[in-house]
Amino acid sequence: MAPILFLMFFILAIGEEVGWTGYAFERMEKRWNAFQASLILGIIWAAWHLPIYYVE
């Protein structure tokens, strides 16, 4: 069971990373410089994952 959960987590993490950096960052970098786009995405990423810390 643990290897399956690890594999599912790994696949989801890769998909999330591709979505944030491959799609969102490229679009945001057209509007802002790399530092500003990274900062904004970092804040969005933290806000997205913040509820997980309250559930656990």
How confident is the model over 15-55, as pLDDT tens digits? Answer: 888 878 788 888 998 999 999 999 999 998 889 888 877 77
Q: Is 17 part of any domain?
A: no
Query: For residue 51, what are the domain limits?
Result: 29-56
**pLDDT given at position 40:** 93
**pLDDT given at position 37:** 93
Dig out the tokens for 7 from the structure. Answer: 């594999």
Q: Which residues are catalytic?
A: 16, 49
Question: If you write DSSP's letter for every residue of 30-48 in order, what string do you get?
Answer: HHS-HHHHHHHHHHHHHHH
Counting the structural domains of the chain, the total is 1
CB–CB of 32/40 below 8 Å? yes
Tell me the pTM: 0.64
Q: Is 5 part of any domain?
A: no
Q: Please give the Cα distance from 30 to 47 (Å, whole number).
A: 23
Dig out the tokens for 48 from the structure. Answer: 């997205």
Q: Is 47 part of any domain?
A: yes
